[in-house]
Amino acid sequence: MNICIIGSGHVGLVTGACFADLGNKVICVDNDEEKIGKLQRGMMPIYEPGLEELVKRNKKEGRLYFSSGLKGGVRKSEIIFIAVGTPPRDNGEADLSYVEHVSREIALSMPSYRLIVEKSTVPVNTGEWVEHTIKVFNSRNVRFDVASNPEFLREGSAIEDFMHPDRIVIGVKSKRARDLLVELYKPLKAPIVVTDIKSAELIKHASNSFLAAKISFINAVANICDMVGADLVEVSTGMGLDKMIGKEFLNAGIGFGGSCFPKDLSAFVKIAERCGYDFGILKEVEKVNEYQKRMVVKKIEGLLWNLSKKTIGILGIAFKPDTDDIRSAPSLEIISMLKREGVRVKIYDPEAMDKAKRALAKEGISSFGKNAGIEFCKDAYAVSKDSDCLIIATEWNEFKELDFKKIKKLMRQPVIVDGRNIYDPEELQKLGFRYLGIGRR
């Protein structure tokens, strides 16, 4: 099939490359000409395992193209995916102005029947607005359908998630739209859930909010474990073996981040509010998530007494491993809190250093003055040198295999706060570390 993907961010790029790999002819369109230029030269704007090879292969074999011209993409493709950003507005609602703009452009460019598919995460009723917008600007009365096909790609395993999905959700109004999308996804041999458009839109927000709730729930249980001296890993193992609960997403830690959960939660709360419903459970989920970051700083205070002028090393800046994405990363808020306490902060992340430098430089200038005093280190050992405490903020594999004898010698005080529970408390305590995990005995 001929497909156009509008928006070459994480979702659009992975989706485009994967559809091309399934044998379709795909044009990825973005209005950022610099990004398109780089993609045409084989340079990736994000770090996602396997993406570079996938893009290069499909480009070489003539199935994947990049362009800044929306019109051309729409003219050449029967199915058009909208995968532009829906960033949060100041009031927590999703900003849908890019979706509206793109819908208008599609209406003005489509020469004959087109299926327009919402791929970006959008509030319920967006499909109706997209359809309305296209109708208003569709002066030549070209036939079209709108569909919703939410993505369920996790950063760091997005290609695997695309190629082996648990389910594919398709929200449609017509048989033609349904048949086209079912045909497109056939090679994946996954269960396909066909619904109306609004239900498909809700499946996405409800799924992300449910997963976020699961994380906040286990984080709250971890806090109780800390108070009573129980062990969270044992508790979550005991819970997770119940198939109705499931063992995934029961890892306690310093809270969820990223470009999806925090934004989707607040958007869902706002949608409910607009409908006249107070989605109190989700507000509590947000509250627990905020608390987790303050709790880490409290734990460090409990171990180091005064924080002022202490040196604290942070291992991991990305909001999760296998990505360089630092959007809403808990590490950044923890760094801000530590800086406010007068701490000297040293940081290292295997992939996110460039993005961290840019983000912290911005914040450093506005919040802490030009000498923000953040030291960017080349590895975990450089971070450890003369530190009074190490915080594990992202569970990168390379942090699981550190030489702790060497680290103990390098640190000023052997103190570790393991914000992702990746170490065995007993082992580190035996080596002479003062160790605190999240809900660990």
- Under the binding rule (CB under 6 A), the answer on residue 286 touching ligand UGA is no
How is residue 148 written in tokens? 């919703």
**Candidate list 253, 350, 437, 439; residue touching ligand UGA; CB under 6 A:** 253
Region binding ligand UGA by CB under 6 A among candidate stretches 15-23, 131-139, 255-263, 269-277: 255-263
- Under the binding rule (CB under 6 A), the answer on residue 55 touching ligand UGA is no
Which of the residues 260, 275, 377, 389 is marked catalytic?
A: 260
Region binding ligand UGA by CB under 6 A among candidate stretches 18-26, 112-120, 237-245, 251-259: 251-259
Please give the angle made by the CA atoms of 359, 68 and 160, to the nearest 5 degrees.
65
Instruction: Write the DSSP symbol of residue 140.
Output: T
Residue 36 near residue 66, CB atoms below 8 Å: yes
Is the Cβ of residue 105 or residue 226 nearer to ligand UGA in the bound state? 226
Q: Among 236, 163, 157, 166, which Cα is nearest to 207's?
A: 166
**Candidate list 47, 65, 217, 261; residue touching ligand UGA; CB under 6 A:** 261
Partners of 418 in the β-ladder: 392
The SS3 of residue 311 is strand
Is the Cβ of residue 105 or residue 395 nearer to ligand UGA in the bound state? 395
Please give the angle made by the CA atoms of 317, 259 and 218, to the nearest 5 degrees.
75
Tell me how far, at minimum, the Cβ of 335 lies from ligand UGA, in Å: 16
Residue window 133-172: x/- pattern of binding to ligand UGA, with contact defined by CB under 6 A = ------------------xxxxx-----------------
Is the Cβ of residue 54 or residue 74 nearer to ligand UGA in the bound state? 54
Region binding ligand UGA by CB under 6 A among candidate stretches 76-84, 186-194, 207-215, 331-339: 207-215
Is the Cβ of residue 123 or residue 257 nearer to ligand UGA in the bound state? 257
**Candidate list 99, 250, 422, 438; residue touching ligand UGA; CB under 6 A:** 250
CA end-to-end distance (rounded Å), the chain: 56
- Under the binding rule (CB under 6 A), the answer on residue 121 touching ligand UGA is yes
- Under the binding rule (CB under 6 A), the answer on residue 245 touching ligand UGA is no
What is each CA distance from 262 to 7, 22, 120, 328, 332, in whole angstroms? 21, 32, 15, 7, 14
Is the Cβ of residue 88 or residue 373 nearer to ligand UGA in the bound state? 88
Residue 260 appears among annotated catalytic residues: yes
Q: Using CA atoms, how far apart are residues 215 and 260, in angstroms rounded to an integer?
A: 14
- Under the binding rule (CB under 6 A), the answer on residue 208 touching ligand UGA is yes
Q: Using CA atoms, how far apart are residues 131 and 116, in angstroms rounded to an integer?
A: 9
- Under the binding rule (CB under 6 A), the answer on residue 211 touching ligand UGA is yes
Q: Using CA atoms, how far apart are residues 338 and 314, in angstroms rounded to an integer?
A: 11
Q: Using CA atoms, how far apart are residues 75 and 78, in angstroms rounded to an integer?
A: 8
How is residue 263 written in tokens? 């934004």
Residue 28 near residue 13, CB atoms below 8 Å: yes
Q: Which residues bind ligand UGA (CB under 6 A)?
A: 121, 151-155, 208, 211, 215, 249-251, 253, 256-258, 260-261, 319-320
